[in-house]
Amino acid sequence: MPTEPRIRATTILAVRKAGRLVLVGDGQVSFGDTVMKGNARKVRRFGEGGRILAGFAGATADAFTLFERLEQKLERFPGNLQRASVELAKDWRTDRYLRNLEAMIIVGDAETLLVITGRGDVLEPEHPVTAIGSGGNFALAAARALYDLEFDAEEIARRAMKIAGEICVYTNHSLVLEQLDV
């Protein structure tokens, strides 16, 4: 039985260095071997004053649903990104509707950087860089290799995404970048 082509939708990278958190995402959304959109915006600001950055990889509608839920959790637990993320992950894993969503998200604020998955994982990266999506491992490897050089967080993120876009056919060079001073 033929299956539908898999949607491949992105590379999201977070870099924290020298008092700055940068979250960057590419703009490509692919369906099978077709680029459906080249300028999707997969990185957003949340919370009061936009002090939380979030980016998604996976199905767009699913990610927007998760972003809405994250906003609700942040209203319930203001200033506590970790608690809001854990509560979101619990709902995502146990709710009959939510557990079918296919996405991953990275969230970060001044103190916290997390990866949240639909399996109920809330992961705090071991290193000050993390990535998700089709080209996530390429961007992560590049960012980790560049990290100890004399580049700031934004330059590391941009260079790593350029490398990922040159290797991963599901990643392009149309970037959306948000940053926070932490």
**Per-residue pLDDT in tens (0 to 9) along the chain, 182 residues:** 555 545 556 899 999 999 999 999 999 988 878 888 889 899 999 888 899 999 998 877 788 888 899 999 999 999 899 999 999 998 888 877 777 777 889 999 999 999 998 778 999 999 999 999 999 999 999 999 999 999 999 999 999 999 999 999 989 999 999 999 98
Tokens of 3: 């299956």
Give the predicted TM-score (pTM) of the model: 0.92
Neighbouring C-alpha atoms within 13 Å toward the C-beta of 153: 21
CATH code for the part of the protein at 7-176 = 3.60.20.10
Helix 153-167 / helix 136-146 crossing angle, nearest 10 deg = 140
* Residue 58 Ramachandran class (φ > 0 left, ψ -120 to 50 alpha, else beta): left
Model pLDDT, residue 58: 83
Of these residues, 3, 10, 11, 94, which one is catalytic? 10
65 labelled catalytic: no
Write the burial class of residue 61 (CB in 10 Å: 0-12 exposed, 13-18 middle, 19+ buried).
exposed
